[in-house]
Structure 1
Amino acid sequence: MLTAAALVLCGALATGAEAQATGDLGLVVERASGSLLVVDQSERARIGRIGGLGDLSHASLVYSPDQRFAYVFGRDGGLTKVDILEQRIVGRVMQAGNSIGGAISDDGRYVAVSNYEPGGVRVFDAETLDPVADIPTGGKTIGLVDIPGTRFVFSLWDAGETWIADLSDVPPQITRITGMGANPYDALVTGDGRTYIAGLFGADHLTALDLWQARPEPRAILPGYAEGRAGLPVYKMPHLEGWALAGTEFVLPAMGQHEVLWVDARSLEETGRTQTHGQPVFAMARPDGRQVWVNFAHPRNDTIQVIDTLTKQVIHQFKPGPGVLHMEFTPRGHEVWLSVRDAGRVMVYDTETFEKLREIEAESPSGIFFTARAHKTGL
């Protein structure tokens, strides 16, 4: 007589031809139509579309640990769970009036959403989307990331504080860190969960926290980096989660300047500057850290520059098309995918030769998210 386990195995073998792995897949946000394009990295092709996700004008998403489910954070306050294998919505809640991003806990149990309206952070069960915790802050929250220990970190635009929410038990335990600076607008955390850096709107420095300390203390980094220079109009805020850790250095877009700033990841001291084509939005390191790819704010958003991390010099510049919004490297960095919104295309390039390999039609594409993100802290 076959055991239950043997029956399951036989069934899996019988349907093996229909099985599909998730590791080669990704999602592209189509902001104009409220949809997601399902793409296959190896085939460099779109393989489906998931619609009905509401306002995706500033959308981001995270993946479940098994890479099958994506949790999409819409600007309209919608939290949507999608099955990328079945290419359908499996759950959706309107959890706020205006949300700005989210994160998933390291154990995959909880999804947290950062809100502008009514503010605060709301936490949901990743399986059911049932509410788990409501963390009011009295104002806008930004820079929400996950760190080890079933914890989330986020900053408060109005209060200039950073909070650490420990969800290892419910209700969550909150640690408040004051003195971060005025109007933090975005933040990042390193892959080891140790260093959290918040950008400050209108200030020419940033603030860092060492999260390995029992009581993290704010530290100003790059103080006065724009001293003596007039700030340019900021057409698009730099996105900190795209800021690069290239080897042992951070590469950070300068607010209101045409340059990126290099900072030693351990000492947090400045190590150099690179003049750029325009105001950087994303400065993203190839996974091996050998290159940094930079895109730019309007009106110079048709251009990409590639910087060599040894020389800190621009080694390649090209124009994929109007409105280059986002970049995503394949997990080992042999290719990079670019969303070119105003051309209605996702473009795929070889990162060694810079040859364009493929164009994929998309409806006003913005964020590109490969499933490898499921295994990275802070993404």
Structure 2
Amino acid sequence: MRWRWLSLLALLLAAPAAAQPDGAALYAQHCAACHGGERLGGMGPALLPENMGRLRPAQAATVIAQGRAATRMPGFADQLSPPEIEALAAHIFRPAPANLRWDAAEIEASRQVLAPPERLPARPVFDADPLNLFLVVETGDHHVTVLDGDRFAPIHRFPTRPALHGGPKFSPDGRFTYLMSRDGWVTKYDIHGLQPVAEVRVGINSRNLALSSDGRFVAVANYLPRSLVLLDAGDLSVKRVIPAVALRGGATSRVSAVYDARPRRSFVVAMKDIPEIWEVSYDDNAPPVFTGLVHNYEKGMVEGLAASQGLFALRRIAVEEPLDDFMFDPAYRHLLGSAREGKTVVVNLTVGRPVAEVPLEGLPHLGSGITWTQDGRRLLATPNLRRPEVSVIDMADWKVAARIPTDGPGFFLRSHERTPYAWTDSMMGGPGARDTIQVIDKRSLEVVRRLRPAPGRTAAHVEFTRDGRYALVSVWEDDGAVVVYDAESLAEVTRLPMRKPSGKYNVFNKITLSEGTSH
């Protein structure tokens, strides 16, 4: 009997281990048709670590098994075993292909003109004020609602690419808007005709886009590939692809942000991995600028290298560490930028070097900062992603004028030139904080009211009507709402059901650079 047990044990030990599921083969069979053979995206989004956001492999496995609501993503629990689902989830978190290319040729091949100019209507196809419209981005089911800002009634609702990233940008006359998804699709949409005009894929993982003040060019910041892409704003054709390469040493960088600097007729660009700020001119007659401006801190001087001029002339400004986020002063002479793990600095764009440091702890969200004038002083205020406060800075000397306590860390801060109040959320806080909107008196720099549009549910992102009479707040949930408040009495006026309305953007406030909204 003992011999039989020993023989059986020997056979079990000699048997080959059960084959592990092949994640690559499973991907090719079940996923490639929608997400592309190289995981670069297609009908579905790109499936690369850079594009997953905060999704983790365990969460990805749940999506693979159960599917995702409001998308074309089906569940595979009835086709794949749990080990196969785990292998597939692990596969999509593998690094991007080393030979990945998405240059001008690939960009141009993806471009589609959906409505040529002769098919666009001569006037709006609706009777609402075209400058008091809101675009409400609903990430719950990947749609945008065009909302009448006078009647607070939806005019139209259209589908978008998944995971729109950053706010839409508007042409100078407010007619067209430009939308960008996290996996690099840029869509031009005709608001007057309520129809898409053109679409192009500029990258695999993109951060935000900017539109030149003259309406001629679109600039897109890419994480993957590491580049800045410049498009013709008319038909989205490629004008230039600029690899994000450091002046010295050849290191490459993700491009973390690009914004339009209207008075300077240039795009200003932040690099995430190299200590440089770029300024790219869109002035056809730009004077000579240095392609390399390197600040020598030991010698206390700026060393200039080869000059270029005219359209897309590139200037580099050296900083001590990469800047993750930034905003401009109203004159666009200074840039206030923050490093993710470091200090906040003021860069004078005219002389091309840092001129001050601002003692802000945590991580100020400068992309959501606003300014206003109080007693002849220009103040700048910013929420903080890590600290429960709004920091107020005197822009005359770049000193902290006040720290306004809030219920939790916040993401958005908004106001309007016709209201004495600034509104901020605490959406980065925990339970009991993230459902709160704090209303701050811009004169006393104190919280004067707390609003809870939906107790226990996330409240965020305020935007005002063009006249500043009403403030719109998002209940940031899949079965959420846009809640309209009277900006003077702070009373609720109405609420509109929406699918996770992540942002609302008023055409007039954006094209006129209202001091109460981000630019």
Q: TM-score range by the shorter chain?
A: 0.7 to 0.9
Q: Distance in 1 between matches of 2:493 and 2:339?
A: 38
Q: Distance in 1 between matches of 2:168 and 2:280?
A: 20
Structure 1 gaps, min length 5: 1-10, 232-236
Q: Which has the higher contact order (CA 8 A, sep 6+)?
A: 1
Partner of 1:91: 198
Residue identity opposite 2:474 in structure 1: S
Is residue 338 from structure 1 mapped to residue 468 from structure 2 by the alignment? no
Choose the corresponding residue for 1:245, options 336, 351, 371: 371
Is residue 209 from structure 1 mapped to residue 347 from structure 2 by the alignment? yes
Measured at CA, do residues 289 and 318 of structure 1 come closer, stay the same or move farther in structure 2, by a change above 3 Å?
closer
Which TM-score applies when normalising by structure 1? 0.86
Q: Distance in 1 between matches of 2:209 and 2:458?
A: 24
Choose the corresponding residue for 1:192, options 326, 331, 351: 331
How far the C-alpha of 1:142 sits from its partner, in A, is 2.2
Structure 2 gaps, min length 5: 1-120, 245-251, 285-309
Contact preservation (8 Å) 1:116, 1:140: yes
Q: Distance in 2 between matches of 1:58 and 1:118?
A: 17
Q: Distance in 2 between matches of 1:17 and 1:106?
A: 26
Partner of 1:268: 398
Which SS does the other structure have where 2:511 is aligned?
helix
Residue identity opposite 1:336 in structure 2: A
Tell me how many residue pairs correspond in the alignment: 352
Choose the corresponding residue for 2:184, options 62, 77, 84: 77
Which TM-score applies when normalising by structure 2? 0.64
Partner of 1:284: 414
Measured at CA, do residues 38 and 194 of structure 1 come closer, stay the same or move farther in structure 2, by a change above 3 Å?
same
Contact preservation (8 Å) 1:246, 1:290: no
Partner of 1:8: none
Larger Rg belongs to: 2
Contact preservation (8 Å) 1:29, 1:56: no
Choose the corresponding residue for 1:320, options 450, 453, 457: 453
Q: Distance in 1 between matches of 2:152 and 2:274?
A: 45
Choose the corresponding residue for 2:314, options 169, 174, 187: 174
Choose the corresponding residue for 1:302, options 435, 448, 453: 435
Which SS does the other structure have where 1:281 is aligned?
coil
Measured at CA, do residues 308 and 131 of structure 1 come closer, stay the same or move farther in structure 2, by a change above 3 Å?
same
Contact preservation (8 Å) 1:72, 1:79: yes
Contact preservation (8 Å) 2:124, 2:193: no
The structure richer in strand per residue is 1
Which SS does the other structure have where 1:33 is aligned?
coil
Residue identity opposite 1:243 in structure 2: G
Measured at CA, do residues 255 and 180 of structure 1 come closer, stay the same or move farther in structure 2, by a change above 3 Å?
farther
How far the C-alpha of 1:175 sits from its partner, in A, is 1.0
Partner of 2:238: 131
Q: Distance in 2 between matches of 1:16 and 1:140?
A: 39
Q: Distance in 2 between matches of 1:255 and 1:180?
A: 22
Instruction: Give aligned-pair identity as a percent.
Output: 28
Measured at CA, do residues 164 and 180 of structure 1 come closer, stay the same or move farther in structure 2, by a change above 3 Å?
farther
Q: Distance in 2 between matches of 1:294 and 1:36?
A: 23
Measured at CA, do residues 309 and 119 of structure 1 come closer, stay the same or move farther in structure 2, by a change above 3 Å?
same
Is residue 369 from structure 1 mapped to residue 505 from structure 2 by the alignment? yes
Residue identity opposite 1:364 in structure 2: K
Q: Distance in 2 between matches of 1:17 and 1:160?
A: 48
Is residue 122 from structure 1 mapped to residue 260 from structure 2 by the alignment? no
CA RMSD of aligned residues (A): 2.3
Q: Distance in 1 between matches of 2:132 and 2:273?
A: 40
Partner of 1:156: 271
Q: Distance in 2 between matches of 1:197 and 1:351?
A: 29
Deviations 1:322-366 (A, max 9, x none): 222311112232211112121421111111111111111211111
